[in-house]
């Protein structure tokens, strides 16, 4: 039975509120075909007034983009901290996932609870700088006046969902995004108020966690609003990732994740034990350095990304002995928020533009290959790897990925998969079915692992530089 829909419209919308922009797609609810789309930029930075997200959403939906839409959902960047007062007004700019000022707070929280194992047992993940719980501790310690005003804590997608609903509607979230806070357990499906109190000094109000097919409510015009979710969970839903699928996204950050039937508890802390947007789980490894490594290297070499591809593909595997440890913005996995990059193996013969370009692509992919290995150690056995994100369009990335990642690689047709996943969730809630609608995702095969011995040599050289620079 359809809910919240009048007339004969069969349109749904998905919103992707990312670090850099808002993207909106309007899809056919039955097939997933994108019929209309809009986009608007966000301000740069690691803290942003949430009003900028709302303004961007209004701009992206201008000129009747949402006309005829029966349901919508929001997928947004994970982990960000939005604090509200007792009148639901924002009390400070949101701290985003890529703000590392709370790194020391994360280390303090780990020690106070009894070590890494205690946190992983509690919520399935380590509280690194990106997680909301560490940002709460930083705020309590450094901005006590702000902390005193705070009554509720939301994630970016929660806040946008609340803006779409009447002002007296319940504050809600979903299990996928909640699992990235550091105070909600995916394994136990519950908040840990004791961890909130430990981080902030008192317990804040938290949004109610909806099931994957539950509605958050309706807009003032009667459009059904689904629960929404975090960006990685929405991307998995948009890609239709199922058992045997491993997703590696080469975007602003790098991520490797897989749909899984059981919660994951990684004693090393590398794999975050997230929930997904379907009622299952989404073990995930995130890196800070992905496509921006390629952009920065291209700029250094005085070229663009197409030129970088051409240079990298002219160099031999191993880049003449050059190895780039690509921690240009610090790193999240491994947890080295203040690390810098390293270019090792410089000689007069190796120091060519071609080798530097190749080392950038190899180094970025080796970081993601480490992430894939961490997932394998948790029982993930991938049969294929879906390579997504802006960096996945690179010819050099596509050429090198199979050997370095060690899995047959396919590249889905370019699309806004976070927004598409949010739209698919909206269609699920609209129809009230037992599962999300089956939307096809065209993919192109890139290749088999191929030169596995060569890939191993590149990864061994990378591991040697990584251990020498940052001993474990």
Which residues, 6+ apart, have CB-to-CB distance to 460 below 8 Å? none
Q: How far is CA 299 from the centre of its chain?
A: 25
Residues 416 and 394: their CA atoms lie apart, in Å, by: 17
What radius of gyration, in Å, describes the C-alpha atoms of the chain? 22
- Residue whose entry in the numeric block shows the structure tokens 């981080």: 199
- Residue whose entry in the numeric block shows the structure tokens 């789309």: 37
Catalytic (active site) residue 381: no
Residues 183 and 269: their CA atoms lie apart, in Å, by: 16
Instruction: Give the Cα-Cα-Cα angle 16, 415, 78 (nearest 5 degrees).
Output: 30
Q: How far apart are the first and last CA of the chain?
A: 55
Residues 466 and 420: their CA atoms lie apart, in Å, by: 37
Cβ-in-10-Å burial (0-12, 13-18, 19+) of 453 comes to exposed
Residues 238 and 11: their CA atoms lie apart, in Å, by: 16
Residues 211 and 157: their CA atoms lie apart, in Å, by: 15
Taking CA atoms, 276 is separated from 187, 210, 211, 272, 329, in Å, by 12, 12, 11, 12, 27
Report the sign of the C-alpha dihedral through residues 192, 134, 131, 73, in that order: positive
Pairing state of beta strands 281-287 and 272-275? antiparallel
Instruction: Give the Cα-Cα-Cα angle 287, 361, 395 (nearest 5 degrees).
Output: 115
Peptide bond into 334 cis (omega under 30): yes
Catalytic residue (one of 231, 276, 335, 370): 231
Question: Which active-site residues does the annotation give?
Answer: 231
């Amino acid at each position: 039975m359809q809910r919240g829909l009048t007339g004969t419209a069969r349109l749904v919308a998905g919103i992707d509120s990312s670090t850099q922009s808002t993207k909106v797609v309007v899809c056919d609810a039955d097939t997933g075909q994108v019929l209309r789309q809009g986009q608007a930029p966000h301000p740069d930075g690691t803290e942003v007034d949430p009003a900028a997200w709302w303004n961007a959403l209004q701009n992206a939906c201008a000129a009747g983009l949402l006309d005829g839409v029966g349901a919508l959902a929001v997928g947004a960047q994970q982990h960000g901290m939005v604090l509200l007062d007792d009148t639901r007004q924002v009390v400070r700019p949101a701290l985003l996932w890529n703000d590392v000022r709370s790194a020391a707070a994360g280390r303090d929280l780990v020690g106070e609870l009894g070590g890494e194992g205690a946190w992983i047992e509690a919520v399935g993940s380590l509280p690194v700088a990106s997680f909301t719980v560490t940002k709460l501790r930083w705020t309590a310690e450094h901005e006590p006046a702000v902390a005193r005003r705070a009554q509720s804590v939301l994630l970016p997608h929660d806040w946008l969902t609340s803006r779409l609903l009447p002002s007296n509607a319940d504050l809600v979230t979903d299990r996928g995004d909640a699992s990235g806070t550091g105070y909600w357990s995916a394994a136990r499906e519950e908040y840990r108020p004791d961890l909130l109190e430990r981080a902030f000094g008192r317990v804040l109000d938290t949004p109610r966690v909806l099931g994957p097919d539950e509605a958050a409510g309706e807009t003032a015009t009667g459009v059904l609003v689904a629960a929404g979710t975090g960006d990685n969970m929405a991307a998995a839903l948009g890609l239709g990732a199922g058992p045997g699928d491993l997703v590696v996204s080469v975007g602003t950050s790098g991520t490797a994740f897989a749909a899984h039937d059981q919660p994951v508890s990684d004693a090393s802390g590398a794999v975050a034990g997230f929930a997904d947007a379907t009622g299952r789980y989404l073990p995930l490894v995130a890196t800070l350095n992905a496509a921006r490594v390629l952009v920065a290297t291209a700029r250094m070499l005085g070229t663009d990304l197409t030129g970088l591809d051409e240079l990298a593909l002219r160099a031999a595997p191993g880049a003449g002995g050059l190895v780039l440890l690509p921690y240009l913005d610090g790193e999240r996995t491994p947890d080295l928020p203040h690390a810098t990059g390293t270019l090792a193996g410089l000689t007069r013969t190796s120091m060519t533009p071609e080798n530097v370009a190749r080392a950038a692509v190899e180094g970025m992919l080796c970081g993601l290959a480490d992430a894939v290995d961490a997932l394998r150690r948790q029982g993930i056995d991938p049969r294929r790897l879906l390579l997504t994100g802006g960096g996945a369009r690179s010819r050099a990335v596509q050429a090198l990925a199979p050997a370095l990642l060690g899995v047959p690689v396919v590249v889905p047709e370019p699309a806004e998969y976070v927004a598409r996943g949010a739209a698919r969730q909206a269609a699920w809630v609209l129809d009230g079915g037992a599962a999300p609608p089956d939307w096809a995702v065209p993919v192109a095969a890139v290749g088999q692992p191929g030169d596995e011995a060569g890939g191993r040599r590149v990864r061994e050289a990378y591991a040697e530089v990584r251990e020498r620079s940052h001993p474990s």
